[in-house]
Amino acid sequence: MTFVVTILASACLMAPTSYHRVRFREGDKERMLTTANNFAIAGTALLAAAIAVAALLVTDLLYGLLTGAIVAGAVVGVLAWCWFGLPLVRRSGDDVVDERDG
C-alpha cells in the first residue's frame, strides 16, 4: 500500500508540470491553473498518506501495532495541520479581512 500510494502521489505532484508543458501558450491558463491546483492538492494528500503508512509500517515492525497506529495518527495530524489546516485557517482569516474592507 505504501508503494502504491507513493506512486499515485508522485503522479499527481508531477502532473501540473507535464500539463503546463503540453498546454503552454494555448490560451487555456485559467483551466490549466485549476487543474494543476487540483492535482497538487491531491498529490499532497496522497503524499501525507504515504508518509503516514510508511511510519505505521516501520513503527509496527519495531514496536508493535498500537505504537505504530499512535505514531501514524500523530504523523497524519501534524501533516494535516501544516499542509492543510494552517493554510485554510489563514484563508478564512483573509476572508474576514476582505469582508471588513469591502
Q: Determine how many CB atoms are found less than 10 A away from the CB of residue 34.
A: 10
Write the burial class of residue 19 (CB in 10 Å: 0-12 exposed, 13-18 middle, 19+ buried).
middle
Half-sphere exposure of 71 (CA within 13 A, CB side): 18
CA 3 – CA 21 distance, rounded (Å): 27
**Which of the two residues, 23 and 74, has the higher pLDDT score?**
74
The residue extents of the domains of the chain are 2-101
37-95: pLDDT as tens digits: 999 999 999 999 999 999 999 999 999 999 999 999 999 999 999 999 999 998 887 76
Question: pLDDT band for position 14 (50/70/90)?
Answer: very high
